Amino acid sequence: MPGDDFDRRRFLGLCGSGLLAAVTGCAAPTTPSDEPTDRTTEVGTARPTRTPQATPASTSPYTRVYREAIDSVVMVEAGGAQGTGFVFDAGHVVTNAHVVGSASTATVRFTGGEWRTGRVVGTDPHSDLAAISVTTVPTAARPLPFSQTDPVIGQEVVAIGNPFNLDGSVTAGIISGVDRSIPAPTGFSIPDAIQTDAAVNPGNSGGPLMSLDAEVVAVINSGGAENIGFGISAALTQRVVPELIETGDYRHSFMGITLTDVTPTIAAANDLETARGLIVVEVLDDGPAAGVLQPSEVRFVGGEQVPVGGDIMLAMDGTELVTSEDLGSYLALHTRPGDTVELVVIRDGARQRVELELGSRPENGLG
């Protein structure tokens, strides 16, 4: 996450001297190996193994989710960055693209202390997802299941990760919003994102946001603001990661336009009875929509710049487009480059149907 170093220094600076020494010790560089680490006390004796006791706290749903998932959650270190990941299948770990950056290898530490050196087999900066191949996975580290139902606002969730290098930390909260659009490292947006108020900080990147059924609802992407964190949805992750494993990259559908939601002001300027749909603001000259969709012109209306004319998109393949998030989520979850989609638009005051063949998103540019 951006600002990891600054946030970590500020966090450590607030600690007392005793706690500071403990935290600094946990965060100190270690030498990776394929053997479990031998944690000792200050006098050099092995720490006793604690057997979980049946207590009221152990019946907590958060405790249950943590215990079911923690063996599959890992710390990821690559190119000087540190984050979180989790077991996706028998030989792969998923994390954020911004955690691995341009690194070709990463070190992965499992909760039992086992270190593995993994190969970064695929990254997709557009969705901020990456896949790491790990030759041998500890027996207890099983693939975490993904939720197959749409998350709902108010649903309780648990975030597991390594904030500020504090490995195996858990926080709880609710889903605060769905179908969000959040910035991607490429300048585009990541659609269908999940918003949560569970505490998410630097080091949580790439970790699982889980339901109380111990299923992944999102891959944590960003956080640090008060009561606001975001994750890449389970639905998008399940589309992207298998292709990263198979081919090394992922191609996103691309229209080559910019647009904005139709507001009451825009509706009035375009003689529309109701404020609905998305007005096309710009069409990329050599993009898929060139010659198919018509852009608007910016005019001053009541001292305000307003797009006037051009196409107003109402639906795609029968799915109503109320907001730009609706369009982004439909493209991401239901289409692929090369597909032909049917658009319902308002053009010159009349409703029309037009067909558009989708292209493949470039590294940077219009959406």
For residue 126, indicate whether it is catalytic: no
Active-site hit among 4, 72, 92, 98: 98
Give the separation between CA 288 and CA 359, rounded to whole angstroms: 6
Q: Could you tell me which residue, 366 or 95, shows the higher pLDDT?
A: 95
Residue 304 binned pLDDT confidence (cut-offs 50, 70, 90): confident
User: Up-side HSE of residue 125: CA atoms within 13 Å toward CB?
Assistant: 11
Share of the chain above pLDDT 70, in %: 83
Tell me: pLDDT of 214 over 50.
yes
> Catalytic residue among 72, 205, 296, 324, which?
205
DSSP state, residue 315: E
pLDDT tens across 325-335, in order?
999 999 999 99
Can you say whether residue 127 is alpha, beta or left, with left for phi > 0 and alpha for psi between -120 and 50 degrees?
Answer: alpha
Active-site residue, selected from the candidate residues 4, 128, 311, 326:
128
pLDDT the model gives residue 54: 55
Answer yes or no: are the C-beta atoms of 137 and 90 closer than 8 Å. yes
- Domains with residue ranges and CATH for the chain: 4-18+60-247 (2.40.10.120), 253-360 (2.30.42.10)
Q: Active-site residue 38, yes or no? A: no
Question: Bigger pLDDT: 39 or 336?
Answer: 336
Q: How confident is the model at residue 303 (pLDDT cuts 50, 70, 90)?
A: confident
Q: Which of 226, 224, 194 is nearest to 209 (CA)?
A: 194
Q: For 115-158, how does the pLDDT look when each residue is reduced to its tens digit (9 = 90+)?
A: 999 999 999 999 999 999 999 999 999 999 999 999 999 999 99
Supply the Cα-derived Rg of the chain in whole angstroms. Answer: 24
Q: How far apart are CA 76 and CA 339, in angstroms?
A: 36
Active-site annotation holds for 128: yes
Distance CA 335, CA 329 (A): 10
CA–CA gap between residue 354 and residue 352 (Å, rounded): 7
pLDDT at 53 over 60: no
Provide the whole-model pTM.
0.82
pLDDT confidence bin for 10, thresholds 50/70/90? very low
What pLDDT does residue 52 have?
Answer: 54
Average pLDDT over residues 162-190: 92
- At 189 the three-state DSSP class reads strand
- The three-state secondary structure class of 343 is strand
Which pLDDT belongs to residue 56?
Answer: 62
365 vs 336, which has greater pLDDT?
336
Q: Over range 83-97, report the average pLDDT.
A: 97
